[in-house]
Structure 1
Amino acid sequence: MLPSLTLATFSSSSSIISKPFFSLSTKLPHSFSPLYLPFPQTKRSISLHTRPMNILKNLGFGAKPAPSMEDSSIAQGPDEDVPAPGQQFAQFGAGCFWGVELTFQRVPGVTKTEVGYSQGLLHNPSYEDVCSGTTNHNEVVRVQYDPKECSFDTLLDVFWAFHDPTTLNRQGNDVGTQYRSGIYFYTPEQETAARESLEKQQKLLNRKIVTEVLPAKKFYPAEEYHQQYLAKGGRFGFKQSAEKGCNDPIRCYG
Structure 2
Amino acid sequence: MVVNKCLAITTTRAISISTTSTTSPLLLISSSLSTPNLPLSLSRPNPTTLSLNPSLRPISLYRPPMNILNKLGFGFKPSPDPSSMENSSIAQGPDDDVPAPGQQFAQFGAGCFWGVELAFQRVPGVTRTEVGYTQGFMHNPTYEDVCTGTTKHNEVVRVQYDPKECSFESLLDAFWARHDPTTLNRQGNDVGTQYRSGIYFYTPEQEKAAKESLEQQQKLLNRQIVTEILPAKKFYRAEEYHQQYLAKGGRFGFKQSTDKGCNDPIRCYG
TM over 0.5: yes
Letter of the 1:177 partner, please give it: T
In structure 1, the partner of 2:226 is: 210
1:45 aligns with 2:16: no
Query: How many residues are paired up?
Result: 212
Contact 1:67-1:135 within 8 A present in 2 as well: no
1:103-161 alpha-carbon deviations (Å, 9 max, x no partner)? 00000000000000000010000000001100000000000000000000010011111
Equivalent-residue separation in structure 1 for 2:65 and 2:151 (angstroms): 19
Matches within 5 A, 1:62-81: 64-65=80-81, 69-81=85-97
Q: Which fold has the larger relative contact order, with Cα–Cα distance below 8 Å and residues 6 or more apart in sequence?
A: 1
1:164 aligns with 2:180: yes
Letter of the 1:45 partner, please give it: V
1:89-115 alpha-carbon deviations (Å, 9 max, x no partner)? 000000000000000000000000000
Equivalent-residue separation in structure 1 for 2:105 and 2:231 (angstroms): 12
Instruction: From 136, 144, 152, give the equivalent of 1:128.
Output: 144
1:150-195 alpha-carbon deviations (Å, 9 max, x no partner)? 0000100111111000000000010000000000000000000000
In structure 2, the partner of 1:5 is: none
The structure with the largest alpha-carbon Rg is 2
Shift of 1:62: 7.6
3-state SS of 1:92 partner: strand
TM-score by length of 2: 0.74
In structure 2, the partner of 1:250 is: 266
Shift of 1:55: 7.0
Equivalent-residue separation in structure 1 for 2:175 and 2:3 (angstroms): 23
1:228 aligns with 2:186: no
Gaps of 5+ in 2: 8-36, 38-61
TM-score by length of 1: 0.78
Letter of the 1:190 partner, please give it: Q
1:92 aligns with 2:130: no
Equivalent-residue separation in structure 2 for 1:118 and 1:54 (angstroms): 18
In structure 2, the partner of 1:152 is: 168
Letter of the 1:189 partner, please give it: E
Shift of 1:71: 2.2
Contact 2:85-2:139 within 8 A present in 1 as well: no
In structure 1, the partner of 2:203 is: 187
In structure 2, the partner of 1:241 is: 257
3-state SS of 1:232 partner: coil
Contact 2:134-2:235 within 8 A present in 1 as well: yes
In structure 1, the partner of 2:134 is: 118
Letter of the 2:209 partner, please give it: A
- Aligned pair in 2 of structure 1 residues 237, 193: CA closer, same or farther (>3 Å)? same
Gaps of 5+ in 1: 1-42
Equivalent-residue separation in structure 1 for 2:103 and 2:186 (angstroms): 31
- Aligned pair in 2 of structure 1 residues 84, 48: CA closer, same or farther (>3 Å)? same
3-state SS of 2:132 partner: strand
- Aligned pair in 2 of structure 1 residues 232, 207: CA closer, same or farther (>3 Å)? same
Shift of 1:53: 2.9
Contact 1:67-1:122 within 8 A present in 2 as well: no
Shift of 1:235: 2.1
Contact 1:44-1:173 within 8 A present in 2 as well: no
Q: CA RMSD in A?
A: 2.3
